[in-house]
Amino acid sequence: MNHIHIRNMVASDVDDIVTLSGELGYITTPTLVQQRMCQLLARDDTFAAVAIDRENRPIGFVHATAYHLFTSPVFSEIMALVVSERHRRQGIGQALVTAAETWAQSQGHTHLRLRSGIHRAEEAHVFYKQIGYDASRTSVLFRKEF
């Protein structure tokens, strides 16, 4: 892929988002993604973009959102980053992260952060370090189902 094209995510990307999410083990349905997309894409504090192939089909996506906390200035966090397995190691992930960084800077956010599960140490963590991200802390995520 010579030139990577990034565009804003649109409602017709639903099926591709479902497929891409499934590649990382996040199993969902078109109905659920469509509902979430309607909510998220309407927000001013959310960024969602796709990398597309020559047929204008998404081959990767990024989702970032702003965090407003009492304890720090406003910052952004990448909530999802997925590149199709067939298209990895071609600069697509970096282009998507750069698009999220550009959005975060345009919003006046102080920094962009992301989380990556420890089970992704061999691939994702190496990638993030290569594009300039440092591991800043380790924590335990607690969760309670409702």
Does a structural domain hold residue 142? no
Of 40, 45, 95, the residue nearest 75 (C-alpha): 45
- 85: domain CATH number is 3.40.630.30
Instruction: Quote the domain boundaries for residue 58.
Output: 5-130
Q: How confident is the model at residue 144 (pLDDT cuts 50, 70, 90)?
A: confident
With respect to residue 63, please indicate whether it lies within any of the assigned structural domains: yes
pLDDT band at 105 (very low <50, low <70, confident <90, very high): very high
* DSSP alpha helix (H) spans, the chain: 14-23, 30-41, 92-106, 126-130
Contacts of 59 (CB under 8 A, 6+ apart): 20, 50, 51, 52, 53, 83, 84, 86, 87, 92
In a domain, 144, yes or no: no
Q: How far apart are CA 68 and CA 77, in angstroms?
A: 11
Query: Quick check: 12 pLDDT over 60?
Result: yes
Amino acid at 146: F
> Within a domain: residue 30?
yes
Question: Looking at the 3D structure of the chain, how many domains does it have?
Answer: 1
In a domain, 143, yes or no: no
Query: Dihedrals φ, ψ of 109, to 5°?
Result: -75, 150
Q: What is the pTM of this model?
A: 0.82
Could you tell me if residue 135 is inside a domain? no
Q: Give the amino acid at 12.
A: S
| Cα of 50 vs its chain's centroid, Å | 9
